[in-house]
Structure 1
């Protein structure tokens, strides 16, 4: 019976020792979410003229942009050569 490895994983990203994470896909989803919120904010400004809806969607867009930044930084930390 093989014992589980402890500590930092060794090996190249994408190998059996160090499987690739889903951060690339998460970045795609984060960018898509930010674009949807940006379009929703623009539509709320043009079509509804309701301030509360513009504020809610605008705050959501800012939060989505922070998420895009955070995921991209994690992805850059995980894959420093790319």
Structure 2
């Protein structure tokens, strides 16, 4: 076989599964925590800058969830 060619199915001993599935779980969890934090900052404090900061971080976390999901679809096109 040529170097760099995939030898087995994903998850087999020849080609172990990547950590993208776990990374997606962490990304979704982080986005949910930032969403709850942004809502709490707007509702419970008078610090507008904190809510804006956490809201921007939530948007960035959503972009990360999208990016990880696209990478996972690219890696596992049959699912």
Alignment TM class, shorter chain as reference: over 0.9
- Max radius of gyration: which structure? 1
Cα-Cα RMSD: 1.1
Runs of at least 4 residues off by over 3 Å: none
Q: Deviations over 1:25-47 (max 9, x none)?
A: 10000000000000000000000
- The residue that corresponds to 2:73 in the other structure is 76
Instruction: State the TM-score, normalizing by the size of structure 2.
Output: 0.92
Structure 2: state its 5+ residue gaps. none
In the alignment, which of 11, 20, 28 is matched to residue 23 of structure 1? 20
- 39-48 vs 10-19, which moves further: 10-19
Give unmatched runs, 5+ long, in structure 1. Answer: none
